[in-house]
Structure 1
Amino acid sequence: MAAPVRGGQAIRQSHAKLPRLSRHSRRHFSASPASRDYEDTVQNLRIGKHTRVIYQGFTGRVATGNAKDSIAYGTNIVGGVTPGKEGEHLGLPLLPDLKKAKEQLKPDATAVFVAAPQCGRAIEDAIEAEIPLIVAVAEHIPLHDIMRVTSILKTQSKSRLVGANAPGIIAPIGSCRIGFQPLPTFSPGHVGIVAKSGTLSYEAVASVTRAGLGQSLCIGMGGDIIAGTNIVDGLEVFEQDPETQAMIIIGEVGGRSEEDAAEWIKDYQKRSPNPKPIAALVGGIHAPAGRIMGHAGAWAARGEHSAAEKYKILEDAGATMVDHPEKFGGVMKTLLSQSGRDVSKITGNPADQKRGYHTTMRRGPVVRPDRPSPPSQRPHQSRNLHLRPEQAPDVLKPYLDDLKNITLSNEPAPSDAFYIGLTVDRSERQPCIRTSPSTDTSRFRETALRFPFDQRSPPPDSLIADSIAHISPPESTKQSLTSLIRALSTVYLEKEAVTLSTSISTNPSTGTIALHLPSLILQFDDSAYRSCSRHPDIHTLRDRTLEQPEEVEAEDSGIVFIRLPNPAANIGTLVNGAGLAMNTLDALRLQNGHATNFLDTGGKATSETVKKSFELILRDERVKVIFVNIFGGLTDGGMIAEGVLLAFKEVDMRGVPVVVRIRGTNEEVGQRVIAESGLELEAFDGFEEAARRVVEIAEGSKERGGEMGGIL
């Protein structure tokens, strides 16, 4: 049984094994030696020139285009799989299933370019085939699908997952890309980067490249609630990698990965006589509390640290913190010099270097990502469904009706109430029971414990007993509490919840317990319904009329839009990527500017999406200037520029000036389109200088200042 977790710090058991249960999946995966577990697969991340890569969903339009670019880059792609098809594709072997691909192609890694509804199953296929490295890029994979996958991963020691909802992994030394990173931004070098945010990782890469350092290995965790590979996994690889001379961490609001990394850093600096320099950034310092900031995982659960607090935790652990990703290059040069490393050698031409190792082989129908989903499955940016407490009877009563001594109360919880919940333990990559003997928010981090369990089965009685013992309830209520936790766990697993929690009061004389509805949290996974049409009974309870109309309208267009309430704000923002959108808010605040909104166009923005984004922003009368900040991976810079021109043509811009900054995929095309448009647009190459200019305009200054402005 997994160890309980207190606050943000896991009490780990290095070789704890979970029972191999199979409520959802009856397939059997090969047993691992008793001395090995999932943590031992971390070295599978050390990809290089000789890593043999295959694609799942190989013949899809997106996979085909991606494979062409990766082959041109130098990636050793040896073929791929599309169910029911066999022959050749792109001049490489095309096979109908992973079993044949494993036997004939002997892959070290697979790029899973499979749509969200089938992606969980595709990852399981890869685990069953014992592919050493699995990279999943799809967004909107249901949370419980990924928790099932991670439960399976914990039973074996052959396969490592990167993702899901990840840009992937790339080794510029060795020219090996498994994902959709903007290739022109990368250069071979000696800085390792592990990041939650794809767009912020590209910003860091660009800064390091311009500093002449280059990158050894870049790992994109992905923005989902649970990641198959986390920050600590990346740091462990960088520590052992002889090509990596320095490390960069990019975190953001939500989860405890940054705090786990801080503990690792403290331990690393104690045991290493000359530790590699570490720099870090945490996005979302100024993100509004209680909101999901674009990424499915970009939200802080009760008791979790804020982005600002994580910044301080990493700083106290010994990481050198930056407030802006463009500063990483200069900071890294300084840190490398201070550590006694020869920066002149590190900044030399590494183009001929090749990584001297590579991943070692250890001997349902797929939907093409390019094929539009049915309307009920079309991707949306609404990440979770939050039901109101008064809707609790609709959800819970069927599960509680047969239970004695349990009531639903409309009264606020008393001061001596307990806390009970079912939620996600992100560090353990599992669901968990969470209990606290107090609901006092000021002490919740210290009093709350997590009790993780395997998603494929209800929590065992022994775990439930441990979770109840932690709150020390009256003896007469223990049986009722046990029944309640069993019922909540059934709701949690059957209805694919993210968090179910409430305050509980007890009556020792009668043995009864009351759930206090005002404190109840009912949070369900939106992707289970959007991607797979599961649980319509839950999701039809959503009342969109009670939500902000602009946010609902944005969601229908695949945009995440959050109106920020500051009455003094006057800068509209249009950004691709949740991490970059959060950091844009932070960057504006560094220049004493205030944004009227958070807007993430999503990774697959179109010209129409950009046009719609302008319409939403301009409905706010506070907006005096708009900042378009794009760093493209999947998003094409030329397309973004065309979207800006479309907005000027079809949207009443109210004379509002626009500052455009485009980097990444097809940045030259985008910058040229803006420069030749003849419109009143200011175009920039640099993030920080663009933010500075936006604030100048917002404050009423039209002075350009120095060499700012124009295409650089």
Structure 2
Amino acid sequence: MAIIRAGQRVWTRVPRPQLYTRSRRDFSSSSVRSGYEDTVHNLRIGKHTRVIYQGFTGRVATGNAKDSLAYGTNIVGGVTPGKEGEHLGLPLLPNLKRAKELLKPDATAVFVAAPQCASAIEDAIEAEIPLIVAVAEHIPLHDIMRVTSILKTQSKSRLVGANAPGIIAPIGSCRIGFQPLPTFAPGHIGIAAKSGTLSYETVASITRSGLGQSLCIGMGGDIIAGTNLVDALKVFEADPQTEGIVLVGEVGGRAEEDAAEWIKEYRRRVRDPKPIAALVGGQFAPSGRIMGHAGAWAAKGERSAMEKYSVLLEAGVTMVDHPENFGGVMKTLLAQSGRDVKRITKDGAAQQKRGYHTFRQQSITSGGSSRVAQFQQKQQQERKLHLRPDQAPEPLEPYLAQVKGLSLSPEEAPSDAFYVSVTVDRTERAPALATAPTANPSQVNQRVRKFPYDWRHGPSDSTINQAIEHMHLGSAPPAAAKQINSLLRSLAKMYKDKEAVTLSGTVSIDHKTGNLVLHQPSLILQFDDGAFRSNKRQEDIHSLRQKETEVAEEVEAENDGIVYVRLDDPEANIGTLVNGAGLAMNTVDALRLHGGKAANFLDTGGKATSETVKRSFEIILRDPRVKVIFVNIFGGLTDGGMIAEGILLAFKEVDMKGVPVLVRIRGTNEEKGQKIVAESGLGLEAFDGFAEAAKRVVEVANSR
């Protein structure tokens, strides 16, 4: 196991397929059925890939297509319902059936807003388009579960996303998504990431090192992803152009654990495995909070980001603490593996004349990326409504009424209680019953087990029986055994009816009556905010939200399109202002590793403006703990010059209270941003590298 030191620390389950019954939306025309796992090869895009757009004539799709065409992507046309003719000099067709027949696409870029996006994906599955890339954020969770239940019934179409930057093959000049093109360069490193901003900084580091990228796959930050890290690993293993692999994970789900299991098996069976490095964001994320991305939270039974870090390390993966280190780390790992680093670097450098340092000057960086950011990150706030136990009985009541003999108790659960839940199994891309034979907080995480089922049909008798069996209720009175069966069915029905994310609680058996008791203080009811924000569904549930009981600064930030989470450590003294949820999580983590403590998580979002930056400063300064503000920007979709202008605006219009501001701007228009900061005359300190900036931020914070 390699240990590499360069200024800071750097260390060195494959899902089981489920069988589903066919429905009217089961689209595979093949009489010999395989499965969704067999579509992983569709991720191998390049010059050969014929790309179409859904929503082709929309403003965002048009700008994106112009940039992708200039990049070299083989776009052959697109679809807008009810329209036919030409757009951007390419065929425009009214439906996917015609597009499939006439254009013979290999991939479709779904640039359709969240309310209609799931239906657009289903249309693409029905048309058997091999690769479907969906970039929209806030597609309702249950819409995606419907889509993934359909995907499992066929073996023609593969989904990337949703809420993902997409997929790009720099070595083949093929972009399907909204990645910031100046950052990418052709080369030999494969990258798969949950976070867009973290992946962009990773890409920039790889580009600066001269290695470049072969294929970059955005898994996306939603709860359920059409393509996960294991899928990406399978492609990278088979790709002869990929010499090394980088994974970028974060808190939430078990994609990183699944990847670690795959990597262990890969390293056992392959004589000369490709070197793999990884990062996991959110190691110091507070428990139970959503950190910007819809999927950035850990459910019962899921490991923390720090634990996932250790699992990957144990699998032989080289772990890094900040994405700017990936370039140097990968060069070292390639050399240690016996690969010809000079050749690999030469191949990359030879193709990087249109790369990071020069490509940005071309007209390709139009307003397309910023428009996509607004499209993709609109309404980027909380993705779950969490009802308190005292609010829970109202939506629960009609479902509990179906469980005869069950009582709802205001008392805390006794020591012999059991855990019951309906939640998401992210690996299986499906809802699941989750049970444990205990409700003891110190044991339930280790003993909870998930039992996934088909979203369309609900849990089967056998699935319910397995979930009950895991609770060790063999000696329960007959009444209680019948009631737990009925309760799980009722919760599963409510889960689908009300578009929940998690419904959970603890139950016990009243030894006097033999009946089941559900304990109200233990209830956790979480509902998908995307269903309400995007589609205006479940208004009765979301009307129960009580903003006055929430952290005022967090609500204010939400109203301004900012994601702000106050971190409760009383010793924290560093305010953070970052663009992108993944990068914001990693900033909190990396500051801690440099000896500092962040007072907040703040993501300005991809639609950040100078006004947004100003409002971010105002919110941060409301916290009296803050002794210094660290602005950490990687300009992928966000313009570094704009961020710098926002900082100057803040100093003009906001009482900064004498709090020093240190700024790190990299990426798009970094020179402009750095120059604005340096020439501001405001005494701002500007930095290039993260390690240098973090060290200085901690020093300033501790001196005040």
TM-score, with structure 2 as normaliser: 0.92
User: Structure 1 114/445 Cα, relative in aligned 2: closer, same or farther at 3 Å?
Assistant: same
Q: Is 1:654 the equivalent of 2:682?
A: no
- CA deviation after TM superposition for structure 1 residue 190, in Å: 0.7
The aligned residue for residue 199 of structure 2 is 201
The aligned residue for residue 109 of structure 2 is 111
* Inter-partner Cα distance in structure 2 for 1:372 and 1:538: 29
User: Structure 1 283/370 Cα, relative in aligned 2: closer, same or farther at 3 Å?
Assistant: closer
The letter for the 2-side match of 1:468 is I
* Inter-partner Cα distance in structure 2 for 1:34 and 1:667: 54
Q: Is 1:541 the equivalent of 2:541?
A: no
The aligned residue for residue 20 of structure 1 is 22
The aligned residue for residue 292 of structure 2 is 294
The aligned residue for residue 123 of structure 2 is 125
Task: Please show how residues 118-517 of structure 1 align to structure 2 within 5 Å.
Answer: 118-350=116-348, 379-473=379-473, 474-476=476-478, 477-507=480-510, 510-517=513-520
- CA deviation after TM superposition for structure 1 residue 12, in Å: 5.0
Q: Is 1:556 the equivalent of 2:559?
A: yes
Worse overlay, 99-108 or 578-587: 99-108
Identity of counterpart residues, as a percentage? Answer: 71
The letter for the 1-side match of 2:451 is F
The letter for the 1-side match of 2:566 is R
Matched residue of 2:164: which SS? coil
User: Structure 1 575/225 Cα, relative in aligned 2: closer, same or farther at 3 Å?
Assistant: same
- CA deviation after TM superposition for structure 1 residue 140, in Å: 1.0
Contact 2:374 / 2:606 at 8 angstroms: preserved in 1?
A: no
Unpaired runs of 5+ in structure 1?
1-9, 355-368, 702-712
Matched residue of 1:78: which SS? strand
- CA deviation after TM superposition for structure 1 residue 90, in Å: 1.5
Contact 2:36 / 2:158 at 8 angstroms: preserved in 1?
A: yes
- CA deviation after TM superposition for structure 1 residue 33, in Å: 4.7
* Inter-partner Cα distance in structure 2 for 1:139 and 1:603: 12
* Inter-partner Cα distance in structure 1 for 2:436 and 2:373: 45
1:687 corresponds, among 687, 690, 696, to 690
Q: Is 1:43 the equivalent of 2:24?
A: no
User: Structure 1 101/641 Cα, relative in aligned 2: closer, same or farther at 3 Å?
Assistant: farther
Contact 1:138 / 1:164 at 8 angstroms: preserved in 2?
A: yes
User: Structure 1 385/678 Cα, relative in aligned 2: closer, same or farther at 3 Å?
Assistant: same
Deviations 1:158-177 (A, max 9, x none): 11111111011111101111
- CA deviation after TM superposition for structure 1 residue 32, in Å: 4.5
Contact 1:81 / 1:94 at 8 angstroms: preserved in 2?
A: yes
Contact 1:378 / 1:530 at 8 angstroms: preserved in 2?
A: no
Contact 1:405 / 1:511 at 8 angstroms: preserved in 2?
A: no
The letter for the 1-side match of 2:88 is L
- CA deviation after TM superposition for structure 1 residue 558, in Å: 1.4
* Inter-partner Cα distance in structure 2 for 1:499 and 1:96: 39
- CA deviation after TM superposition for structure 1 residue 351, in Å: 6.7
Worse overlay, 443-452 or 518-527: 443-452
The letter for the 2-side match of 1:635 is T
- CA deviation after TM superposition for structure 1 residue 380, in Å: 4.4
* Inter-partner Cα distance in structure 1 for 2:563 and 2:30: 42
The aligned residue for residue 90 of structure 2 is 92
- CA deviation after TM superposition for structure 1 residue 491, in Å: 0.7
Contact 1:380 / 1:556 at 8 angstroms: preserved in 2?
A: no
* Inter-partner Cα distance in structure 2 for 1:647 and 1:36: 58
User: Structure 1 86/672 Cα, relative in aligned 2: closer, same or farther at 3 Å?
Assistant: farther
The letter for the 2-side match of 1:237 is V
User: Structure 1 104/114 Cα, relative in aligned 2: closer, same or farther at 3 Å?
Assistant: same
User: Structure 1 556/323 Cα, relative in aligned 2: closer, same or farther at 3 Å?
Assistant: same
- CA deviation after TM superposition for structure 1 residue 28, in Å: 4.8
Matched residue of 1:431: which SS? strand
2:594 corresponds, among 576, 591, 594, to 591
The aligned residue for residue 359 of structure 1 is none
The letter for the 2-side match of 1:440 is N
User: Structure 1 311/569 Cα, relative in aligned 2: closer, same or farther at 3 Å?
Assistant: same
Contact 1:163 / 1:222 at 8 angstroms: preserved in 2?
A: yes
CA-based RMSD: 2.1
1:580 corresponds, among 580, 583, 598, to 583
The letter for the 2-side match of 1:107 is P
1:629 corresponds, among 609, 614, 632, to 632
- CA deviation after TM superposition for structure 1 residue 112, in Å: 1.0
Contact 1:182 / 1:664 at 8 angstroms: preserved in 2?
A: no
Matched residue of 1:587: which SS? helix
Contact 2:237 / 2:274 at 8 angstroms: preserved in 1?
A: yes
The letter for the 2-side match of 1:272 is V
Matched residue of 1:614: which SS? helix
Deviations 1:650-708 (A, max 9, x none): 2112222222222233334433433443433222222222222222322339xxxxxxx
Deviations 1:216-257 (A, max 9, x none): 111110000111111101101000000001111111111101
User: Structure 1 569/509 Cα, relative in aligned 2: closer, same or farther at 3 Å?
Assistant: closer
Contact 1:596 / 1:622 at 8 angstroms: preserved in 2?
A: yes
Contact 1:32 / 1:155 at 8 angstroms: preserved in 2?
A: no
* Inter-partner Cα distance in structure 1 for 2:681 and 2:310: 46
Worse overlay, 434-443 or 384-393: 434-443
Matched residue of 1:646: which SS? helix
Worse overlay, 108-117 or 628-637: 628-637
Contact 1:171 / 1:177 at 8 angstroms: preserved in 2?
A: yes
TM-score, with structure 1 as normaliser: 0.91
The letter for the 1-side match of 2:640 is G
The letter for the 1-side match of 2:419 is Y
Unpaired runs of 5+ in structure 2?
1-12, 353-369
- CA deviation after TM superposition for structure 1 residue 385, in Å: 0.4
* Inter-partner Cα distance in structure 2 for 1:556 and 1:540: 17
- CA deviation after TM superposition for structure 1 residue 635, in Å: 2.3
User: Structure 1 287/339 Cα, relative in aligned 2: closer, same or farther at 3 Å?
Assistant: same
* Inter-partner Cα distance in structure 2 for 1:598 and 1:446: 29
Deviations 1:551-588 (A, max 9, x none): 11111111111111222222111111111001001111
Matched residue of 2:192: which SS? strand
Worse overlay, 310-319 or 647-656: 647-656
- CA deviation after TM superposition for structure 1 residue 57, in Å: 1.4
* Inter-partner Cα distance in structure 2 for 1:290 and 1:446: 17
- CA deviation after TM superposition for structure 1 residue 372, in Å: 13
The letter for the 2-side match of 1:124 is E
Contact 1:148 / 1:455 at 8 angstroms: preserved in 2?
A: yes
Worse overlay, 147-156 or 606-615: 606-615
The aligned residue for residue 359 of structure 2 is none
Matched residue of 2:564: which SS? strand
User: Structure 1 272/316 Cα, relative in aligned 2: closer, same or farther at 3 Å?
Assistant: same
- CA deviation after TM superposition for structure 1 residue 285, in Å: 1.2
Contact 2:380 / 2:605 at 8 angstroms: preserved in 1?
A: no
Matched residue of 2:703: which SS? coil
The letter for the 2-side match of 1:430 is A
* Inter-partner Cα distance in structure 1 for 2:418 and 2:310: 30
- CA deviation after TM superposition for structure 1 residue 479, in Å: 1.4
User: Structure 1 101/670 Cα, relative in aligned 2: closer, same or farther at 3 Å?
Assistant: farther
Deviations 1:63-120 (A, max 9, x none): 1221111111111111111222222222211222111111111111111111111111
